[in-house]
Chain A
Amino acid sequence: MTSSTLHIINKAASNSQLYRDCLDSLHDDDGVIFIESAVYTACGAEPEMFSNFNITAYALKTDILARGIQDKISEKITVVDDGEFVELCCLYKKSVSWF
């Protein structure tokens, strides 16, 4: 089990202050999962903002499919289903929600 944190973010990247705070809070080996409107952040070049960090970025499949953006997800993103989201919450020691 990792001693790291899973950051759960649910707003689109246009909420720039929220993303800056989340980025400032990222520790080595942390995870970030994009859920709800944040799945748009998993598209195209958006994940670049996380590229300076040694973290894993996930996005929630149900929210991606609901928005019809499954073809636009960056290959840097690990897409997880609802069950895997639960597993991530077990794997990481704690979660911090950004909303």
Chain B
Amino acid sequence: MIFSLIIYASQTASQSEQSALRFTRNALQQGHTFHRIFFYGDTVTSMSNLKITSRDEIDITDQWLELAKETDLDLVVCIAAAVKRGILDQQESKRHQKSAANLKEGFCLSGLGQLADAIIHSDRVITFGN
């Protein structure tokens, strides 16, 4: 079965992103595939490479990247949600004449069209939110 996920939650305020990650791991283990993981709303603030995770905590963002390395997950961060919250890739940084880019490598900024495309091409779309 082809899944896509919408993650709409703040990493600091809820467990939802963790639930989504566990769901993804288990579905992959069962042989299912993922068309896309779409990060929307406050979730996008987690994708800053300026974020510091204390040493006794697990950085979920890094866990996504590790999983993506093994399984080719398409991790898309909503561009409108991201720039509004100060999460910029090189291109957006340049476009808006900012001094730096901070989107964590491995994630890609793109529009809501990617969510529409995920709805069209997935058997199941599951939302994890808070």
Give the chain A neighbours of B25 by CB distance below 8 A: 82
Interface residues on B, range: 20 to 34
A45 interface residue (CB < 8 Å to B): no
Please report the C-alpha to C-alpha distance between residue A87 and residue B128 in the assembled complex, in whole angstroms: 17
One digit per residue, 1 when the CB lies within 8 angstroms of any chain B CB and 0 when it does not, for chain A 26-40 equals 000000000111000
Tell me whether A86 and B30 are in contact (CB under 8 A).
yes
Pair A36/B16 contact, Cβ less than 8 Å: yes
A10: CB under 8 A from chain B?
yes
- Closest approach, in angstroms, between the C-beta of B42 and any C-beta of chain A? 12
Contact call B19/A10, Cβ cutoff below 8 A:
yes
| Residue A72 interfacial (CB < 8 Å) | no
Given the known interface contacts A82-B26, A86-B32, the answer about A36 and B19 at a Cβ–Cβ threshold of 8 Å is yes
Residue contact A10 to B130, C-beta cutoff 8 Å: yes
* Residue of A with least CB distance to B126: A95
A interface, by DSSP: helix, strand, loop or mixed?
A: helix
Chain B 12-65 interface residues, beta-carbon cutoff 8 Å to A:
14-16, 19, 22-23, 25-27, 29-30, 32
Given contacts A10-B16, A94-B124, contact A86 B130 (CB under 8 A): no
Nearest-neighbour CB distance to chain A for B88, whole angstroms, equals: 28
Q: Is the CB of A35 within 8 A of B19?
A: yes
- Whether a CB of chain B sits under 8 angstroms from the CB of A23 is no
B127 at the interface (CB under 8 A from A): yes
- B106 located at the interface, meaning its Cβ lies under 8 Å from any Cβ of chain A in the complex: no
Complex Cα–Cα for A99 and B129 (A): 6
B127 → A minimal CB distance (Å): 4
> CB distance A97 to B127 under 8 Å?
yes
Contact residues of B between 72 and 129, Cβ < 8 Å to A:
123-129
Quote the shortest CB–CB distance from A11 to chain B (angstroms). Answer: 8
Give residues of chain A (60-95) contacting chain B, Cβ–Cβ below 8 Å. Answer: 62-63, 82-83, 85-87, 89-90, 94-95
10 smallest beta-carbon distances between A and B, as pairs: A97-B127, A99-B129, A82-B26, A86-B27, A36-B15, A86-B26, A83-B26, A90-B1, A95-B126, A99-B130
